[in-house]
Structure 1
């Protein structure tokens, strides 16, 4: 048996300047060393190289900005960020290094901390997306950038599509308004594009939403262009504060879903794929949603809660983050604790063992026999989540609103590990954005 590796959280110098007001969320750029932090009516973009301010987005919203999302797949010298605000609107912002046709200017500026240059350019509010009746609580771009999801206190999820003729043509239209939640919708998250080879009945864009009604819903576009709810995940006993898809699933499994709640639990949900569905040849799929013509009437999917992470929090869990590199999960919440978890193989007695990830994935997919021999327990894997460490009072007496993994580019990181090694970043009511090294 391999014992669980102890890990420590070591605080790194906090990002500067302090924001001196409640901060809600920090979102790393998908490819550049940038971090966008939402606070009050603004967003401050920090450089991950200098741990200092790169630029700010101001004068676009009348009330607090609670959420932000980077648009993916843009040239390195162009930045696009969407903000969701309690003024019921979402704003689409652009920042461009017009003097550079490539990545050079922006990269030099970020890594060199040339704040003076950044101040000469301004983020420009290009489009205001208006339609929600109440506060927008979360915004998220799909992996391709074609779709944008917004959700609100008005109990709805809106899906917007980029219909501009070119990258410079910012034109968005509403393609769906989803009204099936019975409470405020707190969070939306798109399933990552993980090269799933067409397995399952899903197309490339799959959306999850979490609500004050204690449920999570899974949505996708059917073969006729309509967005439908294909599953309702029930089990939490309080508001589901957030969701994240598994960023790097093994063995071509469909990504699992991580959810966290006011009930102080973190759960993992797994799609139960039918044998014939998983093994169907790719040519059998048709339409944008990859749905066989004979199956279009049956759009429901079965999702099962396959794990509940060990208890670590005494109050609401506000945020959790799942690493694509290591598979580690970290969580924070109202109690000011940072908790770190790891999924490890275990034997039939629940003790940690040395089974490989491929073996566990094969068992999940039914390629090997379960230890108890019951096919109905196919989704009960031979892996378990262990609590590695906790850090109390990580922001002093203040609540922690958000946590995320992001790459290290700072001076304290060894040169050969920059852009490779990960750190955690927490954002709290104290207005301080804190990075943490994992030791």
Structure 2
């Protein structure tokens, strides 16, 4: 469906398709109840639009903050990546401007982007089956390497915490792990074959060399290095018949400490996973990650993006219903539920974009700043209004 500009976004459905009416109505009813019944910590935050960043000529698929938070990268169906910077010391000022347009490295849609931990390299993943690496050299952005090998569209790219490894995933059902070598050289050290369908998303644990992937096959897979060699293996699959999503898993995000993971899906739910185990222990019957909460009833279209803030502990989600929702754990109620957790919606923006919200990303250091990207071709900067100290 590439010629039409639409990517398949859910099992058996195209991007503009509607979900089943009964599920839609059920979702609306549950969401209304959750917002009005007064349970949990309730609504207490709002989102103020700081600035709309315009310039892309097609839908914006993804945004990524540099580690310092001084630069925001956005990538689009227009085959470019834009770098936005703020001339003010305050991220909530309206002085965000496009400082550079990264283009010419890809021949098709740029689906995802991610900064290296030192902020020196930007990786971009494209439907042209390549991943490009960019570096600022003498005030110019240069393409310093192009990674080839996937047989089809590359959907996601992620650096590990040390910047020594890069992961990519593709519609070809594979995850590749690249070894970062001196001189901007990259060598594929492992090809991970475990998913049975298009792999939508990869992300690394915040401190350990543990990789998680999400797929059109409804599954989340956890990967670790196998011994001292270059081989990697899947140590756990989070999917049915155990707890798991019932449709495409679109995105994943770790919390600050890496002991929790949140996932979002075409099944209209967010799921929270927890571990108190040794994440490298792959002995038989050893469950590394356990399901502790399902957040449902808030979005009535596919949830495309989820991000767990490392600055404020809040979870943000963006969906095809054009909205952004913000969730916080109700710690008092969670403490009374052994093995479980309760999350409440604490903020929302019903019409965040004029059409699908493809990505939400919290600022890495400022607990009040959130960026979003949509099918309307716009990047938006939001400020959270309200008392964040009440959520700790």
TM-score by length of 2: 0.80
Please state if 1:173 is matched with 2:187.
yes
> Cα offset for 1:32?
4.4
- Report matched runs for 1:82-231 at 5 Å: 82-97=123-138, 121-164=139-182, 169-193=183-207, 204-225=208-229, 226-231=231-236
Structure 2 residue matching 1:346: 3-state secondary structure: helix
Q: Pick from 22, 33, 56: which aligns with 1:19?
A: 56
Given that 2:262 and 2:273 are in contact with CA atoms closer than 8 Å, whether structure 1 keeps it comes out as yes
Given that 1:18 and 1:433 are in contact with CA atoms closer than 8 Å, whether structure 2 keeps it comes out as no
> Cα offset for 1:420?
3.6
Map of 1:304 onto structure 2: 290
Structure 2 residue matching 1:14: 3-state secondary structure: strand
Superposed CA deviations along residues 317-336 of structure 1, whole A, max 9, x for unmatched, are 00011111211111111110
Structure with bigger gyration radius: 1
Q: Calculate the aligned-residue CA RMSD, in Å.
A: 2.2
Q: Which moved more, 1:3-12 or 1:308-317?
A: 3-12
> Cα offset for 1:163?
2.4
Given that 1:310 and 1:387 are in contact with CA atoms closer than 8 Å, whether structure 2 keeps it comes out as no
Given that 1:342 and 1:385 are in contact with CA atoms closer than 8 Å, whether structure 2 keeps it comes out as yes
- Report matched runs for 1:35-114 at 5 Å: 35-40=72-77, 41-49=79-87, 50-73=95-118, 79-97=120-138
Please state if 1:323 is matched with 2:302.
no
> Cα offset for 1:5?
5.6
Please state if 1:400 is matched with 2:357.
yes
Map of 1:356 onto structure 2: none
Given that 1:310 and 1:385 are in contact with CA atoms closer than 8 Å, whether structure 2 keeps it comes out as no
Structure 2 residue matching 1:309: 3-state secondary structure: strand
Map of 2:272 onto structure 1: 268
TM-score by length of 1: 0.72
Higher strand share: 2
Superposed CA deviations along residues 186-225 of structure 1, whole A, max 9, x for unmatched, are 00000001xxxxxxxxxx3000000000000000112232
* Residue segments in structure 1 that go unaligned for 5+ positions in a row: 98-120, 194-203, 279-288, 351-359, 361-370, 408-418
Q: In 2, Cα distance between the equivalents of 1:13 and 1:260?
A: 26
Q: Which moved more, 1:121-130 or 1:228-237?
A: 121-130
Aligned residues: 334
Query: Structure 1's 32 and 425: CA in aligned 2 closer, same or farther, altered over 3 A?
Result: closer
Q: Pick from 255, 260, 266: which aligns with 2:259?
A: 255
Given that 1:84 and 1:139 are in contact with CA atoms closer than 8 Å, whether structure 2 keeps it comes out as yes
Given that 1:230 and 1:301 are in contact with CA atoms closer than 8 Å, whether structure 2 keeps it comes out as no
